[in-house]
Amino acid sequence: MDSQGDNGWVAHLLRTEVRDTVRLYLDGVIDQWFIQQDNSGVVFLLNVTDADKAHGLLEKLPLGQAGLMNFQLLPLGPISALGSLIRPSTN
């Protein structure tokens, strides 16, 4: 494929990636998204309880289907130790 064709393919891929990502945001799956300060990628905070589900959702995006996305999944949760700060004292 020539560079003109490559550019057209990339432009189409990015348009569909943005459309599908916005759809996940509007559906409440993506809670927040950020760009890394060095512009090397994005960070999504997802509303899912299972890392396998998150992996599957990301792999279904156009960049994932094209094999052009690398990602790392980090399970997050509340800071449970904060509960000790609001319990009534036993004095």
Q: Where does the pLDDT of residue 4 fall: very low under 50, low under 70, confident under 90, or very high at 90 and above? A: low
Q: How many residues can be counted in the chain? A: 91
pLDDT digits (tens, 9 = 90+) for 16-54: 999 999 999 999 999 999 999 999 999 999 999 999 999
pLDDT tens figures, 48-70: 999 999 999 999 999 999 999 99
Phi/psi for 71 (5° steps) reads -150, 160
Provide the 10 A C-beta neighbour count for residue 30. 19
pLDDT of residue 91: 63
The SS3 of residue 11 is helix
pLDDT tier at 2, thresholds 50, 70, 90: very low
